[in-house]
Amino acid sequence: MNNFKLKKYLQDALTHLILIIVSLTCVFPVFWMLSSSLKTQQEIFTKMSLLPHTWNWSNYVTAFVQADFGRYFLNSVFYTVVGVFFILFVSSLAAYAFARLEFWGKSVFFYVLIATLLIPIPGVFVPLYLLLKNLHLIDTRIGLLLCYISNGLAFAIFLLKGFFDDLPREIEEAALIDGCSRFGIYWRIALPLAKPALATLVIMNSLTIWNEFLLALVVLQDKAKMPIQRGLMVFQGTFITDYPLLMAGLTIATIPIVIIYLLMQKHIVKGIASGALKG
């Protein structure tokens, strides 16, 4: 019995040691980025200390004002908020229709939609560019937003349909008897019950849109419309030798989405388990 306990103790200790090492390899680059963003150029190259000798918060002010990073940041906030809102609204309507309504070709439409998940984004760059060009949406905010929204719809519909399929039909029947419309059932009953799945989609699509670079590279050329990741490319080209400013820009791009993830991470597993994995 003692040997068994000792073996289990050693296994747990080894597991925790491995997890600590993996965590440090993930956290240390972020810590180094934060520390470097508060140093001077001379301190980065001459001192090996992890913490800055003097905390130069002016690097962030310079990045926001002089390097136009504030504009890139606000653009990303706009794209993320509007893109996530329309992804949730359109996908929830479509998913509810696929789950609860009967119409011709429902299964075909659904599987064709899901099949688009197999197509990587770079594989549609040429037709996407031609389509946006013909619609006069190249280098426009709405053109980039439409790309973001269409890119997130397929998975969102798949996840929410699995969740709506699991909702008890008795609740909807009782609501219909009480005079509630089909849209009223969707708005007042289905959506509130789907909060875990919706929270999961908020996190996943926020991460995707905030960190997206390739679509913004293809669609946008105007600096005033660029999101933060596209702006980082311009920012790096201008301040490539000024490492404190570059690290400050990277920190500004990283911290908001990390905060969102930490606040809402508990909903990821809960949402997926109660949605797509239930069918």
pLDDT digits (tens, 9 = 90+) for 120-165: 877 888 888 899 999 999 999 999 999 999 999 999 999 898 888 8
- Residue 160 burial class via C-beta count within 10 angstroms: exposed 0-12, middle 13-18, buried 19 and up: buried
Residue 261 half-sphere exposure, CB side, CA atoms within 13 Å?
11
User: Tens digit of pLDDT for each residue in 36-54?
Assistant: 888 888 887 777 777 888 7
Nearest one of 67, 57, 76 to 237, comparing CA atoms: 67
Structure tokens that stand for 125 in this block:
């760059």
**What is this structure's pTM?**
0.82
Kindly report the three-state secondary structure assignment for every residue of 1-38: CHHHHHHHHHHHHHHHHHHHHHHHHHHHHHHHHHHHHC
CA distance 186 to 164: 10
